[in-house]
Amino acid sequence: MNLAAAPAPVETGAFSPLALGLTRGGEAVPAFLACAAPSWARAVEARRGDVLHENELRTYEGLRFERRRDEFLLGRFVAKVALGEYLGERDWATLEVVNGIFQQPLVRHERVPGEPGPPGFPWTPSTRSGNPRVGSSLAAVCLTHSGGAAAAVAFPAAHPLAIDLERLEPDRLGTLQTQVSLAEVDTATLSPDEALRRVTQLWTAKEALSKVLRCGLTTPFEVLAVESVVFRNGSAEGRFRNFGQYRFESSIVGGFAFAIVLPRKSSLGAGVAAWLAERLEAEP
């Protein structure tokens, strides 16, 4: 990842998001990335009352499976770190990330216009947990969790972004390969380790595309096909066959593949991969 304004860590006590150094047409676009290693889970759990909005806390407490509880909590935590920086909000419990009808994340906060909805038409149907499923906002967030780690990016809704993180798992190579075509990467010419890295990178690019489009993986994989990709020293940059307005950058960071999908004509600052690799190893 190269180009444009250099990203800069933003100090918020112990938790520091990365300003992505995103630019479009020479103008800076505010966007902040946060990431937490699996080892953060217990520390965040101890502070869940400071991290979660009361509705999120109810959702969290209603989750039955420990793995989902952990990923929900760490995912909301990194979302708050990134959104807190974006909105200048230090009280994370005032921020709420709700899931829309397609499970897409939406931001609720007093400084986000559009909440709680037009006067006289507050469309706030509740889930069984009591978590309202409504939101229209100018601040947006995308989050991802894998292998106990989590990352989130906060950005203006007017400038869509999406991310995906996927732990490199040799056991999953066969499954992932079924969703990656020969035209995208010819794994027969690669070592098993390199094949796993490249296939997982392409997977993360497609999953991130599915998030930016808000359809998720309910869409056939061939719709999300990669048109062209260049792999270089653990990084990859490419374009999509059916969505020429977007492109992706992907990196191998620690034991994970990470991808960000962004508008084709926007540029990302340098150093994102190195920052992520460091965060994925950082202890709370």
Ligand X SMILES: CC(C)(COP(=O)(O)OP(=O)(O)OC[C@H]1O[C@@H](n2cnc3c(N)ncnc32)[C@H](O)[C@@H]1OP(=O)(O)O)[C@@H](O)C(=O)NCCC(=O)NCCS
The footprint of ligand X (CB under 6 A) covers 72, 75, 99, 102-105, 143-145, 164, 207, 210-211, 214, 216-218
Nearer to ligand X, 107 or 268 (CB): 107
**H helices of 65-107, where?**
66-87
Nearer to ligand X, 72 or 86 (CB): 72
Name the residue with tokens 């969505």: 243
Shortest distance (Å) from residue 279 CB to ligand X:
16
Classify 272 as helix, strand or coil. Answer: helix
DSSP 40: G
Nearer to ligand X, 86 or 267 (CB): 86
Shortest distance (Å) from residue 234 CB to ligand X:
20
d(CA 258, CA 275): 12
Nearer to ligand X, 145 or 247 (CB): 145
Q: Which of 163, 96, 162, 159 is nearest to 133 (CA)?
A: 96
Shortest distance (Å) from residue 211 CB to ligand X:
4
Shortest distance (Å) from residue 79 CB to ligand X:
8
Shortest distance (Å) from residue 88 CB to ligand X:
22
Q: Which of 266, 272, 268, 283 is nearest to 34 (CA)?
A: 272
Shortest distance (Å) from residue 186 CB to ligand X:
25
Could you tell me how far CA 57 lies from the centroid of its own chain? Answer: 21
Nearer to ligand X, 83 or 267 (CB): 83
Point out the residue whose Cβ comes nearest to ligand X: 216
Residue 156 contacts residue 29 (beta carbons within 8 Å): yes
d(CA 82, CA 47): 17
Q: Which helix (H) or strand (E) holds 274?
A: helix 272-281
* Side chain identity, residue 93: A
Nearer to ligand X, 77 or 275 (CB): 77
